[in-house]
Amino acid sequence: MIRRVLERTFGYSGFRGQQEEVIRHTVDGGDCLVLMPTGGGKSLCYQIPGIVREGTGVVVSPLIALMRDQVEALRQLGVRAAGLNSSLSYREVLEAEAAVRAGRLDLLYVAPERLLGERTLNLLAEARLSLFAIDEAHCVSQWGHDFRPEYLQLSALRDHFPDVPRIALTATADELTRREIVDRLGLRGAPVFVSGFDRPNIRYSVVPKNNARAQFRGFLDRHHRGDAGIVYCLSRKKVDATAEWLQGEGVDALPYHAGLGAAERRRNQDRFQRDEGVVMVATIAFGMGIDKSNVRFVAHLDLPKSIEAYYQETGRGGRDGLPASAWMVYGLQEVVTLRSMVEGSDAGEARKRLEVRKLDAMLGYCELTTCRRQTLLAYFGETHPEPCGNCDNCLTPVDSWDATEASQKAMSCVYRTGQRFGAAYLIDVLRGRETDRIQRFGHDRIPTHGVGADLSAYEWRSVFRQLVARGLLWVDMEGFGSIRLTDESWPVLRGEMHVHMRRDVRPPAAARKRKPRAEQPPPDPATWDEGLWEALRAHRLELARAQGVPPYVIFHDATLREMVERRPGTPEELAGITGVGETKLERYGEDFLGVIAKAERGSG
Ligand code: ADP
Ligand code: ZN
């Protein structure tokens, strides 16, 4: 039964990871917690049980704008779905409610704050319910990185509907968060289904900052011209400035942050979802539940606060399984800003310690010289036996070097200049420059003046960044960014501790002019037909526009790509393509077969 739904309704040929186990367990009426990486296929885990079990499945999902698209995507598949949220007209609400009462609905999406309102509770009490699915369940955890107070009320579900199975789903949850979810949602004897967290199609890279904009521009040009992507920045101001700059560079970029009006946010989000090739420049306010499967890159121009956040944000790339990039640029300034934000926050001591620990793990990740995927997965308690071959460190191995002596020089320079200066000044002293300022302070006469002439300014920046990242030096934000020693500095200064660092290699100035290297495995030239690809995409966009839905709701990129490669000529052949289920075959089969046939004639 569940296989039939998978094949006929969704058009997929097999389950991924643990989907089948989860679905069987849920269809049988059990509670469970599902941990799957973004793009792992969580939705199917409750959608199929919602379709198969008698009654309506209630899906709690935090973002209204996305709810709409999810409901639309289900309807396109021929599934009876509706949403209940504040963006609906009164008539639409009445319609949805009537459908629930009449048992005419497989899935009902509800915003968390609405779920426990009296009206909805009454409605659900009258209806026959098949399950509750709580998406983004980590929002219930106060220790998680994305706590939402309205999620706390969900504990009441257990009291109101003790017999309806509950399935909680999330992409990120460490041990503590998991326990909190099970506890708060009252999941009874619930197994935890943990899927592999690996996202093999995502390529991770972190580049030391030199000129962030030029570096990002180079990355776009080389690998992602015209692609849809997300660019994360820490502040609203930087989001606005970056979006404006990109627009000036001819990139179809839009800003998104909590400071924009609701209408503009919604408009930008809609464009991102619906059009091809939009680059969204955003704060972390953007992204939860984003259901765009062909995001080809996620770029961080500022550091995330934790590996969980980083993994979740980068996980928004490549949900269709095609190659995607997670790219980050990072420098001393970012370390300093984040450290001071975390240290200066007015959270309680325990919370602060936790945040510092998370940030340290994140910084450690940035400075890795070994496989990034192995470290990421290890963080989530998983082992990846071999280096992955699809991260920057695997593709271009980095050297590490014994930087003990350089660290001592840097530290003693900090000490001898009175712990009052920032990195740029200290580097000038180390390299023996004789600026007015250095002379004025008499720092051209101290023993550390000129002891670092053997390293370039670029190399010294790398040294300072890595020392601060590891807590071997500290930057005092209240002292205008002056660098100070820490307790950890002394063992290094005394020669009791060795320091190994990654050797950052300055990219050659001509790097941008080099022949572009294709990052995505190119389609097979023997079967690839760019003209057909464009024609299929154009046709999809036309259909999508006509219905006011995002293109991927009609067919995913991966489905179109398979059409180009296999060139189906009959409805049966078309049905064999991933993502073509019965309803879509009926609705769009003839159309797309027509586009393919026309291309055949054109090329034959
Ligand atoms: P998540 O919610 O875990 O981030 P989704 O449920 O949105 O992931 O699924 C990610 C993508 O994978 C979607 O495009 C979905 O259609 C596709 N998908 C999910 N399960 C399968 C499957 N068994 N076979 C093929 N594609 C799948
Ligand atoms: Zn690797």
Q: How far is the CA of 39 from the centre of ligand 1 (A)?
A: 6
Q: How far is the CA of 223 from the centre of ligand 1 (A)?
A: 25
Q: Which of 19-28, 462-471, 544-553, 580-589 has the lowest mean pLDDT?
A: 544-553
449 lines ligand 1 (CB under 6 A): no
Neighbours of 267 (CB within 10 A): 13
Q: What is the pLDDT of residues 413-452, one digit of tens each?
A: 999 999 999 998 999 999 999 999 999 999 999 999 999 9
Q: How far is the CA of 44 from the centre of ligand 1 (A)?
A: 7
Task: Name the token pair of 256.
Answer: 């998104």
Query: pLDDT-derived band of residue 85, with 50, 70 and 90 as boundaries?
Result: confident
Whether residue 259 has pLDDT greater than 90: yes
Ligand 1 atom 9, closest CA: 41
Task: Point out which residues pair with 500 in neighbouring strands.
Answer: 402
Give the number of whichever ligand sits closest to the CA of residue 169: 1
Region 354-380 average pLDDT: 90
Residue keyed to tokens 């100070």:
484
Distance from C-alpha of 45 to C-alpha of 37, rounded to nearest angstrom: 13
Neighbours of 401 (CB within 10 A): 13
Global pTM reads 0.72
DSSP H helical ranges for 345-371 = 349-366
Residue 396's contacts (CB-CB under 8 Å, 6 or more residues apart) are none
DSSP H helical ranges for 417-449 = 423-430, 436-440
CB burial string 325-339: b at 16+ within 10 A, e below: bbbbbbbbbbbbbbb
Q: Which of 508-517, 536-545, 595-604 has the lowest mean pLDDT?
A: 508-517
584 lines ligand 1 (CB under 6 A): no
With pLDDT > 70 as the criterion, what percentage of the chain qualifies?
A: 95
AA letter at 198: D
Whether residue 509 has pLDDT greater than 70: no
Higher pLDDT, 446 or 333: 446
Distance from C-alpha of 370 to C-alpha of 132, rounded to nearest angstrom: 42
pLDDT of residue 274: 85
Three-state helix/strand/coil letters over 261-275: CHHHHHHHHHHHHHC
CB-based burial of residue 94 (10 Å sphere; 0-12 exposed, 13-18 middle, 19+ buried)? exposed
Say how many CA atoms lie within 13 Å of 56 toward its Cβ: 27
DSSP H helical ranges for 483-581 = 489-493, 530-547, 551-554, 557-566, 571-575
Q: What is the DSSP code (8-state) at residue 8?
A: I
pLDDT of residue 513: 42
170 lines ligand 1 (CB under 6 A): no
pLDDT of residue 30: 94
